[in-house]
Amino acid sequence: MKVFLSDYKLDQVLDFSDLKHLFSHFANLTEIDVSLHDQEGSEILTYRVNPEKSICELVKEKQSGCNMQMKYAGLKSAELGEPYIFQCGTMVKCSVPILFEEKFLGSLACGPVLLWEADEIAKNDLAAFANKYDIQKEKAEEILGCVKQLTPENMRSAAGMLAVMVSYMCKEESIFLKQRAKITKQQDRIADLLAEKRVATSSLETIERRNKFKKYPYELEKELIAFLQTGNSTNAMQILNSILGEIFALSSGNLESIKANIYELTAVLMRAAVDAGVSLSEMNEILKKVTIILADETQYDEVCLLTTEVMEAINQVISSNRFTKKSNENLINAISYIKKHYREDLSLDTVAKNAFVSNYYLSHLFRDEMNMTFSDYVNKVRMDAAIKLMKETKMSIQEIAVQSGFADASYFTKTFKKYHGITPKKYMSLYF
């Protein structure tokens, strides 16, 4: 088969400390030397049963061709997909490939061993080989007398056994790296959201002053639940990331505060899942992960990973068990229309017509499902748009007001202060 080289290095994938223990147990059990080689054939790690009586140990500083031979053997074993036995001087070695995510990372070598008895021909061949590297004949014969003799089948079995153990180590690391990638992706998404609100926080006073005006986004939870219960996973995950961004921003890096807010969020979503028809037994596994999030020993990276897994799991069980609530479908139609037309002169009547419901029904829908009035929600959407303009542009307050859907700067300032507790100008000085 075609061999593809991995971009990873051996020490990025394998724990050399664990590998040393594995090599020592393997070598002591089989009485065969074992070594680890990179893609170029260079020896990275080795365990020799008797280093003083190892021909490889004696010539490794002099034998420049060893690396080339090990490189060829490693690639050949990867190409064949099985252990590859090859001649090494007067003896033989066996190479097995190390594959990480189906790409060639390096190789393991077992040996050298003899596949025949140490007769006079073998002794003479080894003596000639040793003489080339200034090794005394007596020393060469002593070495030959210590070499393990195996059948080809036993040699392959020994190498295969070692390869299975190392492959398991690679798979474990692959899972770990995928988790790390998942953590990084989640952190990147959160970082993007935090960037919209981040300012230099050189003192505790600055943090406290900023947090005074921050509010946990309960209205986003309502939107999130509505999207989840109607199967709109894409929008649900977008809103979820916004909520997580708010949680991390509100917590100012305090891990315990982050855990508490995430736990509160998961509790809300789990209740929504049960409302959507998910059985309590289906929620048990999710609940176990939520419990781990709260544990004292759970660190920041683990919180990010577990949060992602919990949210995805809740999303999945709701999607697979949900019954479509007509009220949520109508609410989503109204929300979608508002978010698309917030710059226009929106009225309850206009939105109701486009959501195909009555004014009365839509008004109660916002109160019952979103815990706010229709007008409050429209203003909330416009506030979000205004803050985005503050961050991304250098517009004046008047321009921001118009672009956000407000008739004039005066009404915009009044509404903004009611919603955020401070004026737009003050907000910009604190955050941007």
Does the pLDDT of residue 118 top 70, yes or no?
Answer: no
Measure CA of the first residue to CA of the last residue in the chain; give whole Å. Answer: 57
Distance CA 57, CA 38 (A): 18
Joined tokens for residue 283: 């929620």
The confidence score (pLDDT) of residue 126 equals 67
Distance CA 218, CA 227 (A): 15
Indicate the average pLDDT of the chain: 75
Q: Which residues of 307-329 are buried (b: 16+ CB within 10 A; e: fewer)?
A: bbbbbebbbebbbeebeebebbb
Could you give the residue ranges of the DSSP H alpha helices within 81-200?
Answer: 120-132, 137-146, 152-195
The closest alpha carbon to 237, from 176, 293, 307, 300, belongs to 307
Average pLDDT over residues 237-241: 75
The closest alpha carbon to 96, from 27, 161, 32, belongs to 161
Q: Is the pLDDT higher at 249 or at 111?
A: 111
Does the pLDDT of residue 322 top 60, yes or no?
Answer: no
Q: Is the pLDDT higher at 94 or at 338?
A: 338
Of 1-10, 59-68, 414-423, give the lowest mean pLDDT range.
59-68
| Percent of the chain with pLDDT strictly greater than 90 | 6
Q: What is the pLDDT of residues 331-347, one digit of tens each?
A: 888 888 998 999 998 99
Does the pLDDT of residue 245 top 50, yes or no?
Answer: yes
The closest alpha carbon to 103, from 177, 17, 46, 157, belongs to 177
Distance CA 200, CA 190 (A): 18
Cβ-proximal residues to 273 (8 Å cutoff; 6+ apart), any chain: 228, 283, 314, 317, 318, 321
Q: Is the pLDDT higher at 194 or at 279?
A: 279
Q: Is the pLDDT higher at 184 or at 382?
A: 382
Instruction: Map out the domains of the chain with their CATH numbers.
Output: 10-176 (3.30.450), 196-321 (no CATH), 343-431 (1.10.10.60)
The confidence score (pLDDT) of residue 342 equals 92
Q: Is the pTM of this model over 0.75?
A: no
Could you give the residue ranges of the DSSP H alpha helices within 322-408?
Answer: 326-341, 348-355, 359-369, 374-392, 397-403
* DSSP tag of 5: B
The confidence score (pLDDT) of residue 351 equals 92
Tell how strand 43-47 and strand 103-113 pair up. Answer: unpaired
Q: What is the pLDDT of residues 150-181, one digit of tens each?
A: 777 777 777 777 777 776 666 554 444 455 45
The confidence score (pLDDT) of residue 419 equals 79
The confidence score (pLDDT) of residue 207 equals 40
The confidence score (pLDDT) of residue 421 equals 80
Rounded-to-10 torsion of CA 349, 350, 356, 358: 0
Q: Which of 18-22, 52-56, 235-239 has the highest mean pLDDT?
A: 18-22
Let me know how many helices (H) and strands (E) the chain has, helices first: 20, 5
The confidence score (pLDDT) of residue 403 equals 92
Q: What is the pLDDT of residues 372-415, one digit of tens each?
A: 889 988 988 898 889 889 888 888 999 999 999 998 888 899 88
Q: Is the pLDDT higher at 28 or at 228?
A: 28
Confidence of residue 184 (pLDDT cuts 50, 70, 90): low
Joined tokens for residue 190: 């959160």
Q: Is the pLDDT higher at 202 or at 328?
A: 328
The confidence score (pLDDT) of residue 323 equals 46
Q: Which of 79-88, 218-227, 298-307, 334-343 has the highest mean pLDDT?
A: 334-343
Q: CA distances (Å), 326 to each of 32, 275, 364, 408, in order?
A: 71, 14, 14, 37
Average pLDDT over residues 277-293: 77
Does the pLDDT of residue 271 top 60, yes or no?
Answer: yes
Distance CA 145, CA 122 (A): 11
Of 246-250, 256-260, 381-385, 401-405, give the lowest mean pLDDT range.
246-250
